[in-house]
């Protein structure tokens, strides 16, 4: 019985040890944009309030307009 527990433990440890290559900063940014909306930000109007100020961002056809 102890041998079985030992074998199972060793197998789990071996299977759990994977080496993954770390993501570059660019890959992290690309994955973040993809998950949060991707191309929707290329043509978008975003309005939000932060503290006492109102902000607006309009993007379309490669042009940007920011208002405060």
pTM: 0.44
pLDDT score for 15: 75
- Low-confidence residues of the chain, pLDDT below 70? none
Please give the tally of structural domains in the chain.
1
12 domain-assigned: no
Alpha helix stretches (DSSP H) within 17-60: 25-36
User: What SS3 state is found at 17?
Assistant: coil
pLDDT score for 8: 83
Beta strands in 1-68 (DSSP E): 44-50, 53-60, 63-67
| Element housing 4 (H / E) | helix 2-16
19 domain-assigned: no
pLDDT score for 7: 85
30 domain-assigned: no
């Amino acid at each position: 019985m102890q041998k079985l527990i030992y074998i199972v433990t060793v197998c789990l440890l071996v299977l759990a040890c994977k080496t993954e290559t770390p993501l570059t900063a660019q890959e992290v940014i690309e994955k973040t944009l993809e998950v949060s909306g991707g191309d929707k930000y290329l043509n978008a109007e975003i309005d939000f309030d932060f503290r006492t100020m109102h902000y607006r961002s309009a993007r379309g056809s490669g042009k940007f307009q920011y208002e405060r």
